[in-house]
Amino acid sequence: MHQASYRVYYEDTDAGGVVYYANYLKFVERARTEYLRDYGVNQQELAEQDNILFVVRKVEADLIKPAKLDDLITIETSVVEQKAATIRMEQNIYLEKTKLCTIKVQLVVINKEFRPVRMPEFLKKIFAA
């Protein structure tokens, strides 16, 4: 499991001062990027040097409670399943110990021609950790 924390800024909220629902997707995207960075993987270099990209194929969000302006949220990312060219992750967003949201995402590993490709061994090891 990987953890990342973010502050909720004014730009993340709606007129009511709560996080606009689509911004939860931005938070979990950032957390997935930090997950890879913590293992020394830069996604731009991965695309340029290894011809590997990740795209979201499916996402499911369960919004339980709202995050608000200035909250410090923590996102826990876990790999649920990995196959040759896909990864399923569950990402839970917390405010302290209160779960605010669960997002399930399926990613596909593709090349620059937008064709699915097998995940390289070094990525398999990272996602298995």
User: What is the domain-level CATH number for residue 65?
Assistant: 3.10.129.10
Q: Reduced to 3 DSSP states, what percent helix, strand and coil does the chain have, rounded to the nearest 5?
A: 25, 45, 30
Question: How does pLDDT run across 81-121, given as a tens digit for each residue?
Answer: 999 999 999 999 999 999 999 999 999 999 999 999 999 99
Instruction: Say how many domains are in the chain.
Output: 1
What is the pTM (predicted TM-score) of this model?
A: 0.92
Written as six digits, the tokens of 11 are: 């730009």
Question: What integer pLDDT is reported at residue 52 of this predicted model?
Answer: 95
Set 14, 38, 62, 70: catalytic member: 14
The string of pLDDT tens digits covering residues 17-54 is 999 999 999 999 999 999 999 999 999 999 999 999 99
Residue 129 has pLDDT above 90, yes or no: no
Q: What are phi and psi of 104, to 5 degrees?
A: -105, 130
Domain interval for residue 66:
2-128
Is 38 designated active site?
Answer: no
Task: Give every CB contact of residue 55 below 8 A, 6+ residues apart in sequence.
Answer: 107, 108, 110, 114
Nearest one of 95, 14, 101, 5 to 60, comparing CA atoms: 101
Q: For residues 105 and 55, is the Cβ–Cβ distance under 8 A?
A: no
